[in-house]
Structure 1
């Protein structure tokens, strides 16, 4: 930790004082001199001239890993003027001693030093003080070769910060250290490459640096130069014998990285140097795949001309075309298709490029893939693009697929259907489930069958009270008497799911929902057994009288029964229904409504509707009958025949 509170002098009163001050330091070790040198430099540079004593500067601790950032030259202030040399025959001044009275060359170095807690040696290298470093070399200071806690020696620091003069001094002093590795197996060459210091890279290569020493992740300087794209450094490394096909721990090569960052010139250099286009990383990905994945058209052209595998697939079966489609690279998809990329190669999950383009809402790409995608392969995949478009609410793409003639009633394969708890199978189901009225209308108008799913889509609309959706489905023939196989009832499940919503109930009854089973009770006028809700009890059919007499419906039970009576002939109310109606004096007329005889007009209306049949009720308006009679048959509540 730095000690910045030592008594320091910002101004020298006389040459005697200067000599005395210097004599104090003459007996100190190199490490002590460096420590005091930095402290004196900080004080001389940053304290006002009138200060007679220095104040302690707060030191901040950064718990994060080492982070080095070299400031742009334009931000560096001009170096502080050097003080006049002090003549002393007994202790001649050196660059190191002058460093004691000289400030840092930039305010940035000050902030880095204080905040990062760099050692005096690191700070000397950061500031690029070659003269002071030369003094340490001449003194044979052991700290130059002592590693820090990361295994870095002075050469690593100089290479990282791009201090060429310091690198020169250190290499000439310790030539064998040129390939010295840190604890992460980093050489000075790799660090200089990572930071893009081309002059240091060039010097190190000319003085014995091995370009094929990799770090612990097996990343060589060449790999790093492509990871931080630098064409000049790549050329230097290749001329110096860098192995172009060396793979990192993830299996990637320098060409993989050049393709990732979209550098055609780098790719060309690597290919001409012998880069293997078929090398796969641990995920089975080739360089061409990465170029397509990132939409780099120039590189796609280049590698294709050099013999890359256009239809190569990754470990999960994804092809280059699949990846370009997934990421929405329209130009890349266009180029790949012109190169005869196979649009019918599926992933291991069975998905084709068209599927993933629909999923990610790339309309232009979908339009390019439709003509080249096999409908047979789509059937084999077990899922239609229509399913995905409906599930993701891609209405524009859904319309495009419908116009292109895709099977509106295609069903999910059994395996894919089991992925959903409700065992859905049609595109229409997805649209209804999403509440997408516009998409549902498009599918129904194109010929979608609303009764193919195990769980009828109408049941969803009824349960959620979506009257408009239910009306649309019923208009196109949805089964108003649909049942739930997992929850059997003696009457239509459409009534069971939302009978308290009277407008929905009337809509169902108007469209042929059979109300008669609601009054077919096996107990009749006899006492009803108590309802058991134990999970271990055997499954039994739910009776209407049990459902309508629940506490949640007690306020509208009478209204529900009254509406149902309008759609049946002579029925008998069971003892439980009578008990419910007797609980409210306002419901007494409803009991009378159930008693025979029924009005002849009601019986005729029911007979006509029965003869017409449920599926043709929507065609009643085409009968050659008066308009008032048609409204009567439709249960128009505003119609009066009196």
Structure 2
């Protein structure tokens, strides 16, 4: 018989009179080790003999943390009533974090139902142990790709924008549509910026340039598309701007037109811009972006939509008077020219067989060229 393995299962069986409050060199109590083993009878027996559930290990973890992390639900049920919140607060970590980190939704649900806060944040000294300085239990669940735990935390009121690295960014990086949808429906900030960011537009777009489903999901939840069409150079030369950016040492407010026209991304520029135009009213594209878009297969669609937006813009802004005057002038000229051509044509005879087929009826407004064709006859407006 292996006495040490039996000791782990029931530490009070083989050593009568042993001190249940004794600790190992790392300050781990016997109850802490029993919680890690997960045997509910051992945990219950130790508690009956006076074991203290509020004695931390040198790392600050309590027996309740150990049981939650390893998913020992029955042991956890014994430890929750005897663990003080003050001891948990002093430890700097909640058992909710432990259950989420271990991906144990049953334990997590029990803890939340027992009154533990879904928004308990890691203490500063604990965050330093993680490269990303994570804080929330939700971050642990999302980083594990654990949809069930994420749903439980969000239903319990977990906040989605508390960590230095946004939880949505994790879901985007993993390409997990379900996690993305969950987070966005519960208020995740779609317009977040990375801690080290080089772009003028919100960071989420960088993960969606080649994924239409992801891109449309971001746009549907309020992604700031207009920032993608901001450009300080407009119809001017971009060469000086390119020289200053995209180095290993410069953190710069890089514009969308500089990113999407890179040699390894410009092949998706047409599709990305075409999708974006479904979610904006009126935008201007700069010279650099237009030059690349003209090489794309979707340029005719993009050009038509931009022309339509230009017409709507003219009708809605202070240019309404000028735009209406120009459009009206063209319509009058077209009508006059059609009337003059009709007046010069011979009248049709009563007998179609004598003088040939009857003349075509007068044109109506519906027969005029479409608005997009009329707009092309207008003089181009500088900067549009």
Aligned 1:457-536 pairs, distance under 5 A: 457-528=167-238, 529-530=241-242, 532-535=245-248
Q: What's the CA shift for 1:341?
A: 0.8
User: Is the Cα–Cα contact under 8 Å of residues 569 and 598 in structure 1 kept in the other structure?
Assistant: no
Tell me whether 1:597 sits opposite 2:310 in the alignment.
yes
Higher RCO (Cα < 8 Å, 6 or more apart): 2
User: Is the Cα–Cα contact under 8 Å of residues 496 and 547 in structure 1 kept in the other structure?
Assistant: no
Cα deviation, 1:572-624, whole Å, max 9, x if unaligned, reads: 11122111112225413313422443558xx9xxxxxxxxxxxxxxxxxxxxx
Count of aligned pairs between the two proteins:
311
Cα deviation, 1:258-282, whole Å, max 9, x if unaligned, reads: 96476xxxxxxxxxxxxxxxxxxxx
Distance 2:162 2:88 in 1: 20
Equivalence for 1:311: 21
User: Is the Cα–Cα contact under 8 Å of residues 465 and 501 in structure 1 kept in the other structure?
Assistant: no
Q: What's the CA shift for 1:555?
A: 3.0
Aligned 1:275-294 pairs, distance under 5 A: 291=7, 293-294=8-9
User: Is the Cα–Cα contact under 8 Å of residues 581 and 588 in structure 1 kept in the other structure?
Assistant: no
Distance 2:140 2:11 in 1: 36
Distance 1:491 1:526 in 2: 20
In structure 2, do the counterparts of structure 1 residues 296 and 380 end up closer, same or farther at CA, with 3 Å as the change threshold? closer
Which stretches of structure 1, 4 residues or more, deviate above 3 A after TM superposition?
258-262, 531-534
Cα deviation, 1:330-382, whole Å, max 9, x if unaligned, reads: 22211110112100000110000011112222111011100001112112111
Q: What's the CA shift for 1:478?
A: 0.8
Q: What's the CA shift for 1:316?
A: 0.7
Cα deviation, 1:179-202, whole Å, max 9, x if unaligned, reads: xxxxxxxxxxxxxxxxxxxxxxxx
Distance 2:297 2:273 in 1: 15
Tell me whether 1:577 sits opposite 2:292 in the alignment.
no
Q: What's the CA shift for 1:426?
A: 0.9
User: Is the Cα–Cα contact under 8 Å of residues 184 and 190 in structure 2 kept in the other structure?
Assistant: yes
Question: SS of the residue aligned with 2:253?
Answer: coil
Cα deviation, 1:364-422, whole Å, max 9, x if unaligned, reads: 10111000011121121111111121111111111111111111011111222222222
User: Is the Cα–Cα contact under 8 Å of residues 358 and 397 in structure 1 kept in the other structure?
Assistant: yes
Larger radius of gyration: 1
Tell me whether 1:336 sits opposite 2:336 in the alignment.
no
Aligned 1:156-555 pairs, distance under 5 A: 260=4, 291=7, 293-299=8-14, 302-303=16-17, 308-528=18-238, 529-530=241-242, 532-535=245-248, 537-555=249-267
Distance 1:261 1:592 in 2: 76
Pairwise CA RMSD of aligned residues?
A: 2.2
Distance 1:260 1:496 in 2: 54
Q: Gapped runs of 5+ residues in structure 2?
A: 317-384
Q: What's the CA shift for 1:508?
A: 1.2
User: Is the Cα–Cα contact under 8 Å of residues 321 and 343 in structure 1 kept in the other structure?
Assistant: yes
Q: Gapped runs of 5+ residues in structure 1?
A: 1-228, 230-257, 263-290, 604-642
In structure 2, do the counterparts of structure 1 residues 475 and 368 end up closer, same or farther at CA, with 3 Å as the change threshold? same
Distance 2:155 2:135 in 1: 19
Distance 1:496 1:316 in 2: 45
Q: What's the CA shift for 1:463?
A: 2.6
What TM-score do the two structures reach when normalised by structure 1? 0.46
In structure 2, do the counterparts of structure 1 residues 454 and 296 end up closer, same or farther at CA, with 3 Å as the change threshold? closer
Distance 1:361 1:453 in 2: 25
Distance 2:64 2:75 in 1: 8
In structure 2, do the counterparts of structure 1 residues 598 and 437 end up closer, same or farther at CA, with 3 Å as the change threshold? farther
User: Is the Cα–Cα contact under 8 Å of residues 271 and 298 in structure 2 kept in the other structure?
Assistant: no
Distance 1:497 1:416 in 2: 30
Cα deviation, 1:129-184, whole Å, max 9, x if unaligned, reads: xxxxxxxxxxxxxxxxxxxxxxxxxxxxxxxxxxxxxxxxxxxxxxxxxxxxxxxx
What TM-score do the two structures reach when normalised by structure 2? 0.76
